[in-house]
A and B are shown apart, each in its own frame.
Chain A
Amino acid sequence: DQQVKQNSPSLSVQEGRISILNCDYTNSMFDYFLWYKKYPAEGPTFLISISSIKDKNEDGRFTVFLNKSAKHLSLHIVPSQPGDSAVYFCAASGQMAMRFGAGTRLTVKP
Chain B
Amino acid sequence: GAGVSQSPSNKVTEKGKDVELRCDPISGHTALYWYRQRLGQGLEFLIYFQGNSAPDKSGLPSDRFSAERTGESVSTLTIQRTQQEDSAVYLCASSSRGGTQYFGPGTRLLVL
Interface residues of A (CB under 8 A from B): 6, 32, 34, 36, 41-46, 49, 89, 96-103
Contact = CB atoms under 8 A, between A and B. Distances in A.
User: Size class of B's contact patch?
Assistant: 20 to 34
Contacts of A100: 35, 42-45
B65 interface: no
A89 B33 contact: no
A99 B4 contact: no
A43 B103 contact: yes
Interface of B: 4, 33, 35, 41-45, 48, 56, 58-59, 91, 93, 98, 100-106
Contact of A44 (B43, B45, B56, B59): B43
18 contacts: A6-B42, A32-B98, A36-B103, A44-B43, A45-B103, A46-B100, A46-B102, A49-B100, A89-B42, A89-B43, A96-B56, A98-B48, A99-B45, A100-B42, A100-B44, A102-B41, A103-B42, A103-B43
Given A49-B100, A97-B33, A97-B59, A43 B4 contact: yes
